[in-house]
Amino acid sequence: MTVDLSNPFAGMNPWLMAHWHTVHASFLTYARDQISAQLPPGLAALTEERVMIENFRDDIKKGIVPDIAVEESWDGGGPALGGEGNLALAEPLVVMLEDPVDRCIQIVDSSGALITAIELLSVTNKQEGRGQRAYLSKQRTYQEGGVNLVEIDLVLNGPRILRAPTHHFGTWEECPYGVSIWRAAAPDRADAYPIQWRQRLPRIPIPLRKEDREAVLDLQPVLDETYLKGRYAYLIRYGLNDLYPPLPRDVREWAGELLTRRGLLGS
Q: Any idea of the CA torsion for 209, 213, 214, 217, to the nearest 10 degrees? A: -130
In contact, 11 and 221? CB cutoff 8 Å: no
Phi, psi of 247 (to 5 degrees): -65, 145
5 lies in some domain: no
Residues 189 and 249 in one domain: no
Q: Which residues pair with 80 in a beta bridge?
A: 88
7 lies in some domain: no
User: How many domains does one find in the chain?
Assistant: 2
* Structure confidence at residue 86 (pLDDT): 63
49 lies in some domain: yes
Residues 102 and 138 in one domain: yes
Residues 181 and 195 in one domain: yes
79 lies in some domain: no
Residues 263 and 160 in one domain: no
Residues 158 and 63 in one domain: yes
Range of the domain at 248: 237-267
45 lies in some domain: yes
Residues 222 and 244 in one domain: no
Residues 265 and 193 in one domain: no
* Structure confidence at residue 95 (pLDDT): 53
Residues 244 and 265 in one domain: yes
What's CA 173's distance to the chain center, in Å? 22
Residues 183 and 138 in one domain: yes
Residues 42 and 164 in one domain: yes
* Structure confidence at residue 102 (pLDDT): 67
* Structure confidence at residue 82 (pLDDT): 47
Phi, psi of 259 (to 5 degrees): -70, -35
- Which pLDDT tens digits describe the chain residue by residue (267 residues)? 688 999 999 999 999 999 999 999 999 999 999 999 999 999 999 998 654 454 433 443 444 443 333 333 334 444 444 455 566 667 666 555 444 566 899 999 999 999 999 999 999 999 889 999 999 999 999 999 999 999 999 999 999 999 999 999 999 999 999 999 999 999 999 999 999 999 999 999 999 999 999 999 999 999 999 999 999 999 999 999 989 899 999 999 999 999 999 999 865
Taking phi first (over 0 means left), then psi (-120 to 50 degrees means alpha), and beta for anything else, what does residue 263 get? left
77 lies in some domain: no
Residues 128 and 221 in one domain: yes
Residues 252 and 127 in one domain: no
Q: Cα dist. 45→49, 111, 118, 147, 222 in Å?
A: 13, 13, 10, 14, 16
52 lies in some domain: yes
* Structure confidence at residue 80 (pLDDT): 46
* Structure confidence at residue 49 (pLDDT): 67
Can you give the pTM of this predicted structure? 0.82
Annotate the chain with three-state secondary structure. CCCCCCCCCCCCCHHHHHHHHHHHHHHHHHHHHHHHCCCCCCEEEEEECCEEEEECCCCEEEEECCCEEEECCCHHHCCECCCHHHCECCCCCEEEECCCCCCEEEEEECCCCEEEEEEECCHHHHCCCHHHHHHHHHHHHHHHCCCEEEEEECCCCCCCCCCCCHHHHCCCCCCCEEEEEECCCCCCCEEEEEECCCCCCCEEEECCCCCCCCEEEEHHHHHHHHHHHCCCCCCCCECCCCCCCCCCHHHHHHHHHHHHHCCCECC
162 lies in some domain: yes
Q: Which residues pair with 117 in a beta bridge?
A: 106, 149
